[in-house]
Structure 1
Amino acid sequence: MFARGETIVQYVEKLAPKHYAVPDDRIGLQVGSVRKEVKRVLVALDVNAEVAEEAAALGAELIVAHHAPIYRPLKHLQTDTPSGALMASLLRHDIAVYVAHTNLDTADGGMNDWMAEALGLEGRGVLEEVHTDKLFKLVVFVPQEHAEAVRAALFGAGAGWIGNYSDCSFNVEGTGTFLPREGAEPFIGKPGKRESVAEVRIETVVPDSVRKAVVRAMLKAHPYEEVAYDLYPMDLKGRTFGLGRVGALPEPESLDEFAERVKQALQVPFVRVVGRGDRPIRKVAVLGGSGSRYIGHARFAGADVLVTGDIDYHTAQDAEAMGLAIVDPGHNAEKIMKPKLAEWLQLRLREQGYETEVIASRIDTEPFRLK
């Protein structure tokens, strides 16, 4: 059994929900249709002519990419231009392209966490907040003998987290009353007769990001035909998601030693470095892609160095003046997402019994070389 494209997209959006993206980012389905069976998925950093050819040769019906092939508005679709020829190739081979960009950067366990893990950073936090989960209090009334099953369903769907504590709830025993009317099919009692039942009031915290899933799980586990429950918005902040990560090295090392660490960990042929080579480095900020405008965020977070791509001359001077070192591995360092996302997606599909194969692109889309 092969997964349909819509199912694969749902898994990607479970890791990287669309609302995690920064405003006006070009994400989502850009080319073709996902309303079809998919035997092979190609995970790519960029979508260019070579990647399209690779997908066609593999028989992939879907490309999941990090960078959008349609980023600037298309004024025409002339097939004798590079962009037009690319679109024509994708459509000719019926290859859909789905993009997860800043939502994958922001996601917990996504791009910036993969880069931070590769660098060995500990005690990681967010560099710039993009999204904070709203919190709700869910209250549901359950017959005593079914309370544990409903609690397990709530916790399994993501409810009950307070900081680093899971399965948090408050439970009060009491008596529930109801009178089933004509046409009702009550789990307990008979129509026309008022019933009194020993029940448990279960209270738990629910993040907005999993609210619908939690309610569905609760309703499925609850024995009643009509479930009595309430959802109250809370004036408390939930988990914060954002761009970049800030963490610490296990032990301090010199900037030159750290630059070599970056080169090896992110598998890039060279890095550009701003700062004295013997400068001690302990606290590190990392942001995949183009991070020129985040040097102030990194300095404010107390980072000794910022690892990011596309640093220009004047930004490098500004960073040096404010005492922030920089290691620039280039934008293409984000290629770390290819094997990571392919592995994550393949595991989820296998868990559900799908035979769909997920392949990391082998095409190197780095446009620069040293001479």
Structure 2
Amino acid sequence: MAERVKDIIQIIENLAPKSAAESWDKVGLQVGSPQDTIKKVLVCLDVTDDVMEEAIENEVNLIISHHPFLFKPLKHILKEDSKGKIVYQAIKNNIALYCCHTNIDVVMGGLNDQVAMKLGLSNIKILQVTGQQEYYKIVVFVPEGYEEKVATALAETGAGHIGNYSHCSFRSDGTGTFMPLEGTDPFIGNIGELEKVKEIRLETIIKKEDLSKSLKSMMEAHPYEEVAYDVYPLINAEANRGIGRVGVLDNPLQLSILIEDVKKILDIDKVKFCGDVNHQIEKVAVVNGSGADLIFDAIGAKCDCLITGDLKYHEAQIALENGLNVIDAGHFETEALFVDWMVAFLTEGCKEKGLDIDVIPSNRNINPFQYL
């Protein structure tokens, strides 16, 4: 069976669903069809003339970009127009275009986390929360001796995950009573007789979106004809997506040294910064791309430094007035690792699913800025 665009989309959206994107963003499949067959994928930051040329030369069937290619509606598609030319070439050469932008930025394990980890931060948390994970508690009563089978069935659907721990549950002993009536086929007991059974009260939690499949799996594993269970909504929601990350350096550094580390880690020659080069930096906020509008979030989180791109003059003044050091490493530079990371992520995802798809990085330099 031929591999299709939808197979790659599923790998990406299992991590970063389109619903996680900011409301103003334009993410997802922008040109092509989910049913298009693919053999080769090209990953880039932006779809430009050079990148499209590269895709055609490499016989690529799908381009995955970080920034949306189509952000504003097109009034026309002309070969002489910059956008229209690329759309025309994509259709002519059977190349689909897909974008994952703020959805891949904000999710746990997404681009924000990759940048933070590359910079050596630990104890990483969300800087500005934009979404929370809702949970339900499942309580089910199981005859003694069958609790492991039911607990395993629940765990295999994702139930019992708390932080970095899986198979979390609570169990207590008790006595269950029931009387099988006419027309039933009881696992234990006789029709018309009150039965008392040693049972285990098994409790665990599950994500809201996984509740239905978890209950189905539980029912299939449970020995009873009629399963006694309760489902409770929980109010202790967990932040699971947001803009930027906050972490700490294991060994505090002077700002001047941190700047040199940032340049080395991101493979850049120069950065713009504001602050005191002698300031000891321990707590750091990171926002890939354009993140200067989160200066007050970084201040509120008691960060010593914010690393981002696109810092403006008056924003730098605000940061200085509030004692926040800022390293502007550049919009392109703080997002460039998207390409290699996404290539590795998709390559592993294809391997796990047994998909014969070659994923390659774009080698075209599309940074609009040059430095002298």
Normalised by the length of structure 1, the TM-score is: 0.89
How far apart are 1:119 and its partner, in Å? 0.6
Specify the alignment match of 1:129 in structure 2: 129
CA offset digits 1:226-282 (Å, max 9, x no partner): 765443211222244211111111212221211111111122332111123222222
* 1:361 aligns to 2:362 (yes or no): yes
Superposition pairs of residues 154-165 of structure 1, within 5 angstroms: 154-165=154-165
Distance 1:187 1:58 in 2: 64
How far apart are 1:39 and its partner, in Å? 1.4
Specify the alignment match of 2:264 in structure 1: 264
Letter in 1 for 2:325: A
Normalised by the length of structure 2, the TM-score is: 0.89
How far apart are 1:47 and its partner, in Å? 1.3
How far apart are 1:366 and its partner, in Å? 0.8
Specify the alignment match of 2:19 in structure 1: 19
Distance 1:178 1:48 in 2: 71
CA contact (8 A) 1:176 1:199 kept: no
Distance 2:73 2:58 in 1: 29
* 1:311 aligns to 2:311 (yes or no): yes
Distance 2:41 2:176 in 1: 54
Taking structure 1 as reference, are residues 65 and 161 closer, same or farther at Cα in structure 2, changes over 3 Å only? same
Distance 1:275 1:176 in 2: 70
Letter in 1 for 2:22: V
* 1:342 aligns to 2:343 (yes or no): yes
RMSD: 2.8
Superposition pairs of residues 201-212 of structure 1, within 5 angstroms: 201-212=201-212
CA contact (8 A) 2:108 2:240 kept: no
> What SS is found at the alignment partner of 2:257?
helix
Letter in 2 for 1:270: K
Taking structure 1 as reference, are residues 24 and 172 closer, same or farther at Cα in structure 2, changes over 3 Å only? same
> What SS is found at the alignment partner of 1:130?
strand
Taking structure 1 as reference, are residues 55 and 146 closer, same or farther at Cα in structure 2, changes over 3 Å only? farther
* 1:233 aligns to 2:233 (yes or no): yes
CA contact (8 A) 1:295 1:319 kept: yes
Taking structure 1 as reference, are residues 18 and 194 closer, same or farther at Cα in structure 2, changes over 3 Å only? farther
How far apart are 1:76 and its partner, in Å? 2.2
Specify the alignment match of 1:140 in structure 2: 140
How far apart are 1:193 and its partner, in Å? 9.0
Letter in 2 for 1:58: N
CA contact (8 A) 2:285 2:307 kept: yes
Distance 1:203 1:130 in 2: 29
Distance 1:177 1:8 in 2: 50
- Structure 2: runs of 5+ lacking an equivalent: none
How far apart are 1:289 and its partner, in Å? 0.9
Distance 1:261 1:167 in 2: 40
- Structure 1: runs of 5+ lacking an equivalent: none
Distance 2:364 2:181 in 1: 65
How far apart are 1:214 and its partner, in Å? 3.3
Taking structure 1 as reference, are residues 245 and 41 closer, same or farther at Cα in structure 2, changes over 3 Å only? same
How far apart are 1:195 and its partner, in Å? 10
CA contact (8 A) 1:254 1:277 kept: yes
Distance 1:8 1:321 in 2: 47
How far apart are 1:194 and its partner, in Å? 8.9
Specify the alignment match of 1:32 in structure 2: 32
> What SS is found at the alignment partner of 1:97?
strand
CA offset digits 1:109-133 (Å, max 9, x no partner): 1101110111101111111001011
Identity %: 38
How far apart are 1:57 and its partner, in Å? 2.3
Letter in 1 for 2:364: I
How far apart are 1:341 and its partner, in Å? 1.7
How far apart are 1:176 and its partner, in Å? 6.9
* 1:250 aligns to 2:250 (yes or no): yes
Letter in 1 for 2:275: G
Superposition pairs of residues 43-62 of structure 1, within 5 angstroms: 43-62=43-62
Taking structure 1 as reference, are residues 339 and 214 closer, same or farther at Cα in structure 2, changes over 3 Å only? farther
CA offset digits 1:26-67 (Å, max 9, x no partner): 111111112133212222211112222222222222222211
Taking structure 1 as reference, are residues 60 and 188 closer, same or farther at Cα in structure 2, changes over 3 Å only? farther
Taking structure 1 as reference, are residues 72 and 202 closer, same or farther at Cα in structure 2, changes over 3 Å only? same
Distance 1:68 1:203 in 2: 44
CA contact (8 A) 1:133 1:209 kept: no
Distance 1:200 1:154 in 2: 15
Taking structure 1 as reference, are residues 221 and 31 closer, same or farther at Cα in structure 2, changes over 3 Å only? farther
CA contact (8 A) 1:64 1:98 kept: yes
Aligned length: 369
Letter in 2 for 1:129: V
Letter in 1 for 2:60: A
Letter in 1 for 2:352: E
